[in-house]
Amino acid sequence: MTVQLNETHDINLRSWVASANNAETDFPIQNLPYGMFRRQGSNQAFRIGIAIGDQILDLAAAHAVHAFAGYTELQGGHFTAAVNGQTLNGMMALGAPVWSALRLALSRVLREGSSQQGTLQACLLAQSAAEFALPAHIGDYTDFYTSVHHATAVGKLFRPDNPLLPNYKWIPIGYHGRASSIGVSGQQFHRPIAQTKPPTAETPVFGPAKRMDYELEVGIFIGPGNALGDVINMEKAESHVFGLCLLNDWSARDVQAWEYQPLGPFLAKNFASTISPWVVTLEALAPYRLAWTRDAADPQPLPYLDSPALRDHAAFDIELEVLLQTEKMRTEGTPPHRLSLSNFRHSYWTVSQLVTHHTVNGCNLNPGDLLGSGTQSGPAPEEAGSLLELTEGGKKSIALGNGEQRIFIEDGDTIIMRGWAQKEGVARVGFGEVMGTLLPARS
User: Catalytic residue positions?
Assistant: 150
Residue 79 backbone phi and psi in degrees, to 5 = -70, -45
Cα(266)–Cα(188) distance, integer angstroms: 20
**In angstroms, how far is the first alpha carbon of the chain from the final one?**
51
Cα(248)–Cα(214) distance, integer angstroms: 6
Contacts of 295 (CB under 8 A, 6+ apart): none
Contacts of 70 (CB under 8 A, 6+ apart): none
Cα(371)–Cα(177) distance, integer angstroms: 9
User: Residue 86 to residues 32, 37, 91, 138, 365: CA-CA distances in angstroms?
Assistant: 19, 9, 10, 13, 21
Cα(352)–Cα(295) distance, integer angstroms: 19
Cα(252)–Cα(209) distance, integer angstroms: 6
| 426-439 vs 187-190, strand pairing mode | parallel
Spatial contact of 371 and 358, defined as CB atoms under 8 Å apart: yes
